[in-house]
Structures are given as structure tokens and as C-alpha cells.
């Protein structure tokens, strides 16, 4: 079977009509081209080109071979050109696992500009409060509070420190005493997170007199996701990210409760396997999230 490289050289010579022009296009010397074609003709035992000192033209057999092969080779070239074009535009899918607070306050705001500039990048964001094995479940990265991650993972800071606070709607608080102390929460309807149905709900933490005070709420509503919808439905008091509700506090749609006891946590980090050769899409997304 003839070498495909030699066939490509042959096609280029016929297309340009000259060993010199073909050599310039391919970056190959005229003598090397001539030698390659001679080898090809010897292997096929067919003369493919008529050569004169001034011109080169295909023999009838050479023209037949050119007509048979050229469309396929040119189609390959177009396919490679499209691939290069896609790389220039950056294509790919990035799968992110994160909780609702990180999605709303960090991930979506930071990705909005780069996604408008890179329409070929697809980002799949899964809201999840579980501690997942991102490799086993097919995620490219996981976002969570704190920079301590499992062995073999890389952590990248993507936010500032995260403040958590209590809020409720004015309608819920109407005709009720607004809590002045943590123990006053015992007299209210509370909305809390339960990340796993087989585990207890989350304890609430407050910063009181320069130390952390833990409180176990007796909740009327338990959820495994975003509490804000339930809070906005006047169903009770919930603990949420301050950045998630600042605009509602400013407009008066929510009232902050015990603001002096706000708890501050480590920033959000994106963590991912430390393997090399991440896709360009992954790198674009990670750089956009990086603080």
C-alpha cells in the first residue's frame, strides 16, 4: 500500500501545477518532492506525472487518481480546519457540584461575563449539599467552604470570607417579639438544613463574645437545599448567607435577626483532581472563578 504522505504530496503537485510551488506550500524541497513521487510511481508501477523543464501535468492515470482521492483529502483538511476553529473559540463542558449559596453568590455572577464571551463552553451546575466523590460521580470540580480537601485534590480560593446570618420576613415577625438573644429563638418557627435524611439537622453557630456558640434549633421545617424560598414565604426564621440576602434586607423584604452574632466562615474553594491536561474550557471557568 502506498504511503499516504506521498499521495498527499502528489495531490498538492497536481493542484499547484508545479514542484516548486508545491514545495513552497508544503515546506519541502523540490528534489525531495521529485524523489517521493518517483518512489510512489515505482511502488504503483504507474507513471502519474508528465514532467518537463517548465511544467508538470498528470498522466491520464494520474488524473484519474487525483479525481478519486482529492475530495477525500480536502474533506479531511476541512475537518481539521473546523477543529482548529473550535479550539480557537474554546469548546467543552465543565461539570460543577456546589451548594445553593455558592451557586447564587459566587459561581453564577463570576461565570456570567466569560460565558457570554465563550458561547461554545457549556457549564453544568448541580446544586448539592452532600460531600461527594467528584471523580466517581463525574464532576470536574466541587465548590465548598474551606480549603481543606481530600488527598490528591487541588483547592483554589474563589471568594472572600463568608458571613452567615439569621433573617425572616416582616410578615412573619408581625405581632411577634423579635429575638434579642439566641435562646429567644426557641419561641419561633425555625427553618433549617438537613443535608442527609439519616443524619441530624445542622447546628447553628454564632460568634458571641469572641467565641463560637453552638445552638441546636428545634425546626418546624427541614430542607436539604435552599432555605430562602421558605423564608420569603413567611414560614419562619432561617440561617443563610449574608451575600444571598443583602438586597432583600436593603429593600425591607427581609429583617436581619441578631446581626451582632453573625458567624464568619472560611471562603469558598473550588477543588478538583490534580491531574494534568485539563481542557481549555475548564481552565477558562476556573480562572473566572479564581479570587
End-to-end C-alpha distance for the chain, whole angstroms = 57
Tell me the per-residue pLDDT of 70-100, one tens digit each, with 9 for 90 and over: 888 777 776 766 665 555 678 889 999 998 8
pLDDT average, residue stretch 13-41: 87
The domain containing residue 242 runs over which residues?
162-265
Residue of 80 and 69 predicted with greater confidence: 69
pLDDT at 83: 62
Q: Does the structure show a pLDDT above 70 at 2?
A: no
Distance in angstroms (rounded) separating the CA atoms of residues 248 and 232? 10
Distance in angstroms (rounded) separating the CA atoms of residues 137 and 155? 18
Residues 282 and 154 both lie in one domain? yes
Q: Does the structure show a pLDDT above 80 at 274?
A: no
Distance in angstroms (rounded) separating the CA atoms of residues 38 and 27? 19
Q: What CATH number corresponds to the domain at position 67? A: 1.10.10.10
Domain count, the chain: 3
Kindly indicate the confidence band of residue 222, based on its pLDDT and cuts at 50, 70 and 90.
very high
Task: Give the domain-ending residue among 88, 107, 122.
Answer: 88
Distance in angstroms (rounded) separating the CA atoms of residues 229 and 140? 29
Residues 154 and 277 both lie in one domain? yes
pLDDT at 88: 61
Q: Does the structure show a pLDDT above 90 at 226?
A: no
pLDDT at 1: 47
* Percent residues over pLDDT 70 in the chain: 92
- Give Cα separations from 221 to 86, 178, 196, 200, 201 (angstroms): 48, 19, 14, 13, 10
pLDDT at 269: 94
pLDDT average, residue stretch 52-66: 85
Residues 124 and 72 both lie in one domain? no
* Neighbouring residues of 8: CB distance < 8 A, sequence distance ≥ 6: 73
Amino acid at each position: 500500500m502506498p504511503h499516504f504522505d506521498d499521495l498527499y504530496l502528489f495531490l498538492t503537485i497536481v493542484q499547484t501545477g508545479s514542484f516548486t510551488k508545491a514545495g513552497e506550500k508544503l515546506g519541502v524541497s523540490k528534489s525531495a518532492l521529485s524523489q517521493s513521487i518517483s518512489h510512489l510511481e515505482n511502488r504503483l508501477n504507474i507513471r502519474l506525472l508528465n514532467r518537463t523543464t517548465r511544467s508538470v501535468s498528470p498522466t491520464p492515470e494520474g488524473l484519474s487518481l487525483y479525481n478519486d482521492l482529492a475530495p477525500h483529502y480536502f474533506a479531511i483538511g476541512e475537518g481539521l480546519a473546523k477543529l482548529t476553529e473550535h479550539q480557537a473559540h474554546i469548546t467543552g463542558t465543565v461539570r460543577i457540584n456546589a451548594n445553593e449559596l455558592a451557586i447564587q453568590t459566587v459561581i453564577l455572577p463570576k461565570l456570567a461575563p466569560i460565558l457570554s464571551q465563550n458561547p461554545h463552553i457549556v457549564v453544568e451546575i448541580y446544586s448539592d449539599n452532600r460531600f461527594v466523590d467528584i471523580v466517581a460521580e463525574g464532576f470536574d470540580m466541587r465548590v465548598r467552604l474551606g480549603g481543606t480537601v481530600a488527598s490528591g485534590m487541588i483547592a483554589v480560593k474563589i471568594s472572600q470570607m463568608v458571613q452567615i446570618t439569621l433573617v425572616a420576613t416582616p410578615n412573619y415577625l408581625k405581632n411577634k417579639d423579635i429575638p434579642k438573644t439566641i435562646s429567644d429563638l426557641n419561641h419561633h418557627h425555625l427553618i433549617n438544613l438537613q443535608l442527609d435524611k439519616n443524619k441530624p439537622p445542622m447546628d447553628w453557630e454564632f460568634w458571641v463574645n469572641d467565641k463560637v456558640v453552638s445552638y441546636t434549633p428545634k425546626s418546624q421545617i427541614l430542607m436539604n437545599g435552599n432555605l430562602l424560598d421558605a423564608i420569603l414565604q413567611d414560614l419562619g426564621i432561617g440561617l443563610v448567607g449574608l451575600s444571598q440576602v443583602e438586597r432583600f434586607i436593603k429593600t425591607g423584604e427581609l429583617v436581619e435577626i441578631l446581626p451582632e452574632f453573625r458567624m464568619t466562615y472560611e471562603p469558598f474553594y473550588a477543588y478538583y483532581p490534580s491531574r494534568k491536561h485539563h481542557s481549555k474550557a475548564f481552565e477558562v471557568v476556573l480562572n473566572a472563578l479564581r479570587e
